[in-house]
Structure 1
Amino acid sequence: MAESLVERRSIDVVPDAERHGTAFSQFTLWLGANLQITAVVTGALAVVFGGDVVWSIVGLVLGNVLGGAVMALHSAQGPKLGLPQMIHSRAQFGVRGAVVPLLLVILMYVGFFASGSVLAGQATAELTHTDDTTGIVLFAAVTAVTAAVGYRVIHALGRVASVICALAFIYLGVRLLDRVDLSSLLSDAHFDLPMFLLAVSLSASWQLAFGPYVADYSRYLPRTTSGRATFWWTLSGSALGAQWSMTFGVLVAASAGGAFMSNQVEYVVGLGGTGLIASFLYFVIALGKLTINVLNTYGGFMSMVTSVSGFRGQKTLSPRGRAAYIALIMIAGTTVALLGKDSFLTSFKDFLLFLLTFFTPWSAINLVDYYLISKERYDIPALSDPHGRYGAWRWDALTVYGIGLLAQLPFLVTHFYTGPLVDSLGGADISWIVGLAVPALLYWGVARRNTAHIPEQTLYGVEEPGSEPVQEPVSGRP
């Protein structure tokens, strides 16, 4: 049992004999990962920073659908290639050049681990009758152990969380509607473009930030799994879960004001009741955060291995090495959580929007290359060879990535930096739209001029006992 439960694979391609599951597994995983307290806080921020209920909800819907669609396009790559998401980036940036976006991805994982641990630590502290610091540390330890077991337990956790958290959110929604005058909240609608775009940016950044690791959790699906099915189940689970949580957050923030801002976890639990119900809700909050924090830890260790292996030529990872990488992510994330737990709301909003600046250009380049330039055809063994067809550094993609970053700065709005063109747009942040469009167009224009490195069909190089390396032609796209 232990051999089948504990994952052996890391950055290496998953052979056909080890593929399992259906595309529906993406729905339960991403629904469970989004029905959680940090998504509630993300939705609340749209109101806390000045938006009304109606247009905040509409903006969050738009951002979840648009950002979720981009994220789900990455998910559809998993069954086809059988690789973690960021290994695939070597085809665009080079075997070593991929370390540039990878370093930022690792920062993202640490940041999300930290922000999640702040809220989950509060719930864990209540369950264990300790303080917040102890709760954060305990939660981090459970997260690390779960991530070390790997893929199967992560999906099992997603299935459990999707059911339990959905039931809890239904209950909390009923309790909230008993307390608030919904018609009054909905009648106070006043469209404000900057606030509307803030709501769109908050939810879009939430979804786009999953892009660098979403294929990590679809790569074990059989290679024959429909790309369309993977896309739609991922999008529906992630967008539905996030919008559900964020709408709840909007209504809570609009009705509770300072009571919610002062202690998000305590207010949500108090909304549900006391005694055993309160204990159950603290457990639900910790469970929801465990689901997503395990994804962050697992993705973080994958990205660290990918970064190091690009220079060391490493193709596999020992169990001891796996544990060491996971421990590094846990220690870094816990340290940030303990240092930043007293200024959570403002820091988290800036963190989300700042992340978006770095990941939209990467996402645009990766998707244009996969669907329009290479058309799903890759030489997977060459992704580990800096002297192979993809080279060590692909300066055309790295240059486009840098231009994509710089193009966003005039339109960026954060607490510590505001771009020079923001005032002329009424304070609206459209940097993420620029960050998708500019590098997508530039990379398409540059990359289609030189396609000599693209194989005629995908080369897997996976050897099973008594068989030849697998080669498979292009399959349909979502």
Structure 2
Amino acid sequence: MSLPPAPSSTATGPRSVFDGRMPAEPGDLRIEARGIAPVPGQHRYGGPGRLFTVWFAPNLTMTGVFTGTVGIALGLDLPTALLAVVLGTLIGAVPTAYLGTWGSRTGAGQLPLARLAFGRSVTVPGLLQWLSSVAWDALIGLFGGDALARLCGWPFWLGVLVMMVGQGSLGVLGYEAIHRLQKLMTFVLAAAFVALAFRLPDSVHPAAVGSAHGADRVGAFVLTSTIALSLALSWAPYASDFSRYLPQDTSRPRMFWYTLLGVSVSFVAVQALGLWGATVFTDQTARGVDRLLGGGLLGAVGLLAVALAALCSNAMNDYSGSLALQTIGLRVPRPFAAALAAVLGFPLVLWMHAADTAARFQNVLLFVGYWIPGFVAVVAVDWFARARAGEPVDPTAESVRSRSGRPALVAFCAAFAAAVPFMNTGLYTGPVAAALHGADLAYYAAFLTALAVYAPLRLRRSRTTLPDASPA
């Protein structure tokens, strides 16, 4: 499959599916038809401060709260589990913040930019990213749909259906609608979660002493940290999607810090809430929220906040999923691709809800992220190699090359293979993870392996001036 070209704004015919209408200014809420074609400089607008809200609000979900309960369930006491959450979140947030700075420089989304390293092989991470966006729709929609169903007195499936329609509509509207919603929801959801936190001290007793000891305690600490890392790192393949309209001269340090703070503060806050109220936030998270708030009007407000949080987060999943679908070569309009992700997330939510929610939740959460460390390592090495060799960073030019991207694909696959022995999920526990008392080091093994394999291959390509980069 040849790489889909990134056409100019004047493209016509079948190639124009990657182009299309762009938002012109903050508050322009008409449907964004722009696909993977880079955003021209004259269409850029906004400042780096909007990156804080776009990365803060979508993480204030009950998915993060439920993830926070895992540390207590594994036998850790509250201070130790909180330390694991902070450590893992920061490690995962740094790559996301770094990759996000590429959007203003190139005007391109993260998966389209990956073509610089992967060439035609971008279809592999592109497909994984698209599948991951559908999986995240289910992980988050599970709680949002449940909250909406309880709030309105609907059956579970109807609550999920309405949730998917709402998030799909936002994904269709696109970049500016998502930014504006997240700015508003930053204040609304922060207030709702603060109110929820104030209800906890009177009704729950956090774990002061854990049941895990010795090597089991170390294994539980590492696994808790890895799960927190997986949440923050899951945004890495989306990162520049939401900065690609920023002007090229936007301060990259400010972009980095706004993104880092948005991701890390929000994730640590909701996971800390889950740790504190682990005895209340069970599999039936929406019911736990309603019960915790005492039902009535306050309980209804809490359920509405849970549903709105899921809507905010999943709109971003659908938007980035639409860019990933175009990146792998499918010539479908971006709005249609965004709606498709929401449609496919619906049956996956029902599957997760049908049996052991906790087990399926953790399994999906880990599996959708194991490919990301290798991806991050490959694209980062390629970026550094270009800077060192003075090579251009031009996704428009690179998209019409006929490179196979074999070195990147080899490193990417090697990274995933290296991670397998270190994995720890309910479906599979690798021999190394078992020997380490459940410690999941798969993310670290994948990242280091990709670095070790790809860096020599990429540097060799620089020395030979891209011999496989002849025009298509």
TM-score category of the 2 structures, normalised to the smaller one: 0.7 to 0.9
Question: Given residue 206 of structure 1, which amino acid in structure 2 is its aligned partner?
Answer: L
- Tell me the amino acid that sits aligned with residue 356 of structure 1: G
Q: Write the deviation string for residues 75-123 of structure 1: whole angstroms up to 9, x where unpaired.
A: 11111111010011111111x2100111111111110001111111111
Relative distance call for 1:188 and 1:322 in structure 2 (3 A) is closer
Q: Does 1:240 align with 2:262?
A: no
8 Å CA contact retained: 2:385, 2:458: no
Answer with 203-212 or 263-272: which moved more. Answer: 263-272
Specify the alignment match of 1:359 in structure 2. Answer: 372
* Other-structure match for 1:420: 431
Q: With structure 2 as the length reference, what TM-score do the two structures score?
A: 0.88
1:174 is matched with which residue: 175, 180, 198? 198
1:307 aligns with 2:331: no
Q: CA RMSD in A?
A: 2.0
Distance 1:267 1:441, change over 3 A: same
Structure 1 pair 228–454 and aligned structure 2 pair: CA distance change class (3 A): farther
Give the letter for the 2:375 counterpart.
W
Whether 1:324 aligns to 2:336 is yes
Amino acid at match of 1:332: L
1:181-260 alignment runs, 5 A limit: 181=205, 185-186=207-208, 188=210, 192-253=217-278, 255-256=279-280, 260=281
Change (3 A) 1:106 1:454: farther
Residue 137 (str. 1) matches residue 161 (str. 2): yes
- Matched-pair contact (CA < 8 Å) for 2:421–2:432: yes
User: Which residue among 249, 255, 265 is the counterpart of 2:286?
Assistant: 265
- Note if 1:370 corresponds to 2:373: no
Q: What is residue 110 of structure 1 aligned with on the other side?
A: 134
Deviation of residue 187 (structure 1)?
Answer: 5.2
Q: How big is the shift at 1:20? A: 1.3
Residue in 1 that maps onto 2:176: 152
Change (3 A) 1:82 1:452: farther
Say whether 1:282 aligns with 2:297.
Answer: no
1:337 aligned residue: 349
Give the conservation status (yes or no) of the 8 Å contact 2:139–2:365.
no
Name the stretch that deviates more: 444-453 or 27-36: 444-453
Deviation at 1:424, TM superposition (A): 2.7
Shift of residue 431 of structure 1?
0.9
Cα distance change of structure 1 residues 50 and 454 upon mapping to structure 2, 3 Å threshold: farther
The one-letter code of the counterpart of 2:163 is: F
Q: 1:327, CA displacement in angstroms?
A: 2.7
Report if aligned partners of 1:378, 1:454 keep a CA contact under 8 Å in 2. Answer: no
User: Equivalents in 2 of 1:73, 1:2: separation in Å?
Assistant: 25
Q: Which residue in the other structure is 2:121 paired with?
A: 97
Alignment match of 1:379 (pick from 385, 394, 397): 394
C-alpha spacing 1:396/1:167, structure 2 compared with 1 (3 Å): same
- Distance in 2 separating the partners of 1:49 and 1:106: 31
Q: Secondary structure at the match of 1:186?
A: coil
After superposition, the C-alpha distances for 1:9-58 in whole angstroms (9 at most, x for unaligned) are 22111112221111111111111011111111111122223333221111
Give the aligned residue type for 1:271: L
Give me the whole-angstrom Cα distance separating, in 2, the residues matched to 1:17 and 1:379: 17
Distance change in 2, residues 1:101/1:246 (3 Å): same
Equivalents in 2 of 1:275, 1:121: separation in Å? 19
**1:175 and 1:380 mapped to 2: Cα distance?**
50
Instruction: Tell me whether 1:53 sits opposite 2:78 in the alignment.
Output: yes
One-letter code of the match for 1:358?
A: W
- Identity across matched positions, percent: 29
Equivalent AA in structure 1 for residue 452 of structure 2 = L
Runs of 5+ unmatched residues, structure 1: 456-478
> Offset of 1:262 from its aligned partner?
4.0
Q: Which moved more, 1:114-123 or 1:173-182?
A: 173-182
Residue identity matched to 2:397: A
Task: Give the AA of the match of 2:188.
Answer: I
Aligned letter for 1:135?
A: G
Give the match's secondary structure for 1:352: helix
Distance 1:454 1:274 in 2: 66
Amino acid at match of 1:307: I
- Tell me if structure 1 keeps the 8 A contact 2:110–2:239: yes
Maintained 8 Å contact 2:112/2:395: no
Between the aligned partners of 2:394 and 2:465, the Cα distance in structure 1 is: 8
> Which residue is 1:120 aligned to?
144
Worse overlay, 85-94 or 433-442? 433-442
Could you tell me how far apart the structure 2 residues matched to 1:161 and 1:372 are? 39
Secondary structure (helix, strand or coil) at the match of 1:8 reads coil
1:474 — aligned with what?
none
Name the SS for the 2:460 alignment partner: coil
Residues 353-374 of structure 1 show CA distances to partners (whole Å, capped at 9, x for unaligned) of 2223211101111112213444
Q: Does 1:400 align with 2:411?
A: yes
Aligned to 1:470: none
Alignment size in residue pairs: 435
User: CA shift at 1:129, angstroms?
Assistant: 2.3
Residue identity in the other structure for 1:117: G
